[in-house]
Amino acid sequence: MERNLKLILRYDGSSYHGWQMQKNLATVQETMEKAIAMVVGHSVHVTGCGRTDAGVHAKCYVANFRTSSTIPVDRLPYALNTHLPPDIVVTKAFDVHDGFNAIGSCVRKEYTYLIYNSRLKDPFYVNRAWFYPKHLDEKIMQAAADQFVGTHDFAAFCAAGAQVSTTVRTIFDCHVERVGESVRMYVTGDGFLYNMVRIIAGTLMAVGLGKIEPSAVAGIIAGCDRTKAGQTAEPQGLTLVEIFYSV
C-alpha cells in the first residue's frame, strides 16, 4: 500500500542553489531525494512547499513524498538524518491523507528578512543577514510596511521572467523591528511571487535610507512597475520560518 508522507525540515541554504532540482547544481530537493531513496529502497519525487532562491534558508520547510516502505514515521527523521549533510535536518514526519500536497495545500507562509545594520561587520552574521552599514530608520520603514498589507497586484515586486497566472497576492502582516544592530522584517502572505519578499525588503531599505518616501509605496504597488520599487535584497538575509495548512 502506498503512503503519503509529510516531512518537516530545516536547512541552511548557503551551499545550495535553492530547493528546486537544477541540472549540475546542488539543491535541497536533490539532496533530500537521494537520502530518502537510501532509506525507503526506491527512487522518489519529493514535492516542496515552494521554491527558495540560492542562499536562502528555512527554519520550517514542508515536503511530501509517496512510498511503499513500511518504516514507522517516528523512526524516519533519524534514518534520513544519517544520510543527510549537517546543513539539512528532518525534524518530524507524518502519515498524511492522499490528497495532501506540500505546495498545493499551503494557505499561508511567513518569512523573515534580516539586515545587520552596523558600521562594522560581524562574522557571526555571515550567510545569515545582509550587512548594511548606513543607518536605517526602522520607524519610517514600518510606516511603509503597513501599506503592503491587503490584497494587491504585486507585479512591481516580481522579478522578470516569472511564469504565473496572476500577480495578485494577499499580505496578512508586514512589520519591521530593530533589536540592537539588527533590523528584521516579518511578512506573512497567502503566497509570494518570484523574489517578492526580497524586493519588498529592498524597497523598505530604500525607505529606511530616505530614498523612497513611505507614502510613495502605495503608488508603487498600484503602478505595477518593477523599476519603481527598490532593489532585490541579497538572498542570505531571507528565511522561511513557518508554513500553514488548512487541514
pLDDT digits (tens, 9 = 90+) for 114-140: 999 999 999 999 999 999 999 999 999
User: What's the average model confidence in pLDDT over 48-63?
Assistant: 94
**Active site members:** 53
Residue 169, SS3?
strand
Query: Contact, 234 vs 130, CB < 8 A?
Result: yes
pLDDT at 247: 67
Burial (CB count <10 Å: 0-12, 13-18, 19+), residue 204 = buried
Q: Distance between CA 89 and CA 101 in Å, rounded? A: 20
**What distance lies between CA 242 and its chain's CA centroid?**
9
Measure CA 225 to chain center: 23
Instruction: Give 108-165 as a DSSP string.
Output: EEEEEEEEE--SS--GGGTTTSEE--S---HHHHHHHHGGG-EEEE-GGGS-TT---S
Q: Which helix (H) or strand (E) holds 202?
A: helix 196-208
* CA 191 to each of CA 151, 164, 166: distance values in angstroms, whole numbers, following the listed order: 11, 12, 11
Its pTM surpasses 0.85 = yes
All three cell numbers of 217: 509605496
pLDDT in tens, 137-194: 999 999 999 999 999 999 999 987 777 889 999 999 999 999 999 999 999 999 999 9
For residue 192 the three cell numbers come to: 509570494
| Distance from C-alpha of 207 to C-alpha of 210, rounded to nearest angstrom | 5
Q: What's phi and psi for 14, nearest 5 deg?
A: -55, -35
pLDDT (0 to 100) of residue 173: 97
Confidence (pLDDT) at 215: 92
Q: For 57-100, write each residue's pLDDT tens digit.
A: 999 999 999 999 999 999 999 999 999 999 999 999 999 999 99
- Residue 66 is classified by DSSP as E
The DSSP output letter for 220 is H
